[in-house]
């Protein structure tokens, strides 16, 4: 399928590994001019080495000023921004019941503010290009699944942000959607670690809780992201798209 993405400029935050890198690769394969982003210079260089012709910007999306500078660099290099994929996030936190104010702030900064900062900094450029935003969320923001409470709350807030922003952005010609992955396996992921620690427990959980009985891959998320970023999805905005193998029940 031709997604009509040739020549589009796409910035993928948090794209030095995992889901973000897979999305960047998929968009590059579809003909986009891709800009990678991360906080670790070595990991970012390694990611860029895997994707010929990409540009990269070292920036911490938790910092609004850093996001402004990042968008400024994208515009300086490419002259426009058509697609913003907000992928910065982490589900690592304290056990339920052990939350404290500084942990709430840390998790919200990573999983919510990294997105709102990037979208805020990119709005003018996206309005100019009539572009679109894709926010990588989580099924933990939709249903109570036993994940860390600050993470679940941050992702639920992200879902609300997408739904409530869609009408405002839509009047300016900009679409915004979210993708809520389930259990995605890649090197260094939480599921990579859990498999190494107790494969039998993971396989039991998959058989019990996931309709397809398996873990997902970053590519499963990336292919949907490319479709949502494309003109083929021009009538889709303010929506959450679940990629979880049938884990959610509601």
DSSP the chain: -----TT-EEEETT-SSHHHHHHHHHHHHTT-EEEEEES-HHHHHHHHHHSTT-EEEE--TTSHHHHHHHHHHHHHHHS---EEEE-------PPTT---HHHHHHHHIIIIIHHHHHHHHHHHHHHHHT-EEEEE--GGGTS--S--HHHHHHHHHHHHHHHHHHHHHHTTT-EEEEEEE-SB--TTSHHHHHHHH-HHHHHHHHHHH-TT-S-B-HHHHHHHHHHHHSGGGTT--S-EEEESSS----
Active-site residue identified among 151, 161, 186, 227: 151
**pLDDT at residue number 96:** 79
**pLDDT at residue number 43:** 96
Residue 195 in domain: no
Q: What is the pLDDT of residues 73-111, one digit of tens each?
A: 999 999 999 999 999 998 788 777 788 999 999 999 999
Q: Are the C-beta atoms of residues 124 and 166 closer than 8 Å to each other?
A: no
Q: How far is CA 32 from CA 2, 23, 110, 239, in A?
A: 12, 11, 26, 23
**pLDDT at residue number 208:** 96
Instruction: Give the separation between CA 148 and CA 93, rounded to whole angstroms.
Output: 6
Residue 138 in domain: yes
**pLDDT at residue number 91:** 77
**pLDDT at residue number 97:** 77
**pLDDT at residue number 163:** 98
**pLDDT at residue number 191:** 86
Instruction: Give the separation between CA 149 and CA 38, rounded to whole angstroms.
Output: 25
Residue 191 in domain: no
**pLDDT at residue number 102:** 92
Domain count for the chain, please give it.
1
Whether 151 sits among the annotated catalytic residues: the reply is: yes
**pLDDT at residue number 239:** 98
**Short-list 21, 52, 19, 18, CA closest to 36:** 21
**pLDDT at residue number 240:** 97
Residue 207 in domain: no
Q: Which parts of the chain have pLDDT scores under 50?
A: none
Residue 155 in domain: yes
CATH code of 81's domain: 3.40.50.720
**pLDDT at residue number 215:** 97
Residue 212 in domain: no
**pLDDT at residue number 250:** 80
Residue 194 in domain: no
Sole residue written with tokens 């894709």:
134
Q: Are the C-beta atoms of residues 249 and 209 closer than 8 Å to each other?
A: no
- Global pTM reads 0.96
Instruction: Give the separation between CA 202 and CA 2, rounded to whole angstroms.
Output: 37
Find the domain containing 142 and state its range.
9-186+217-243
Residue 4 in domain: no
């Amino acid at each position: 399928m031709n997604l009509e993405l040739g020549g589009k400029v796409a910035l993928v935050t948090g794209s030095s590994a995992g889901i973000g890198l897979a999305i960047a690769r998929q968009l590059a394969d579809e003909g986009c001019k891709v800009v990678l982003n991360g906080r670790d210079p070595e990991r970012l260089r390694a990611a860029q080495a895997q994707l010929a012709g990409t540009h990269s910007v070292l920036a911490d999306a938790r910092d609004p000023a850093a996001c402004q500078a990042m968008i400024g660099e994208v515009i300086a290099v490419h002259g426009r921004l058509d697609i913003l994929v907000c992928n910065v996030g982490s589900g690592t936190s304290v056990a339920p019941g052990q939350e404290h104010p500084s942990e709430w702030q840390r998790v919200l900064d990573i999983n919510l503010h990294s997105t709102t900062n990037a979208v805020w900094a990119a709005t003018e450029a996206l309005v100019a290009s009539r572009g679109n935003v894709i926010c990588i969320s989580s099924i933990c923001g939709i249903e109570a699944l036993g994940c860390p409470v600050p993470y679940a709350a941050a992702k639920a807030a992200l879902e609300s942000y997408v739904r409530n922003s869609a009408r405002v952005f839509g009047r300016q010609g900009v679409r915004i959607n979210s993708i809520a992955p389930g259990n995605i396996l890649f090197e260094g992921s939480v599921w990579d670690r859990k498999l190494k620690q107790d494969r039998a427990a993971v396989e039991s959980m998959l058989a019990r809780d996931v309709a397809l009985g398996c873990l997902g891959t970053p590519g499963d998320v990336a292919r949907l992201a490319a479709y949502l970023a494309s003109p083929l999805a021009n009538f889709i905005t303010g929506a959450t798209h679940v990629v979880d193998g049938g884990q959610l029940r509601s």
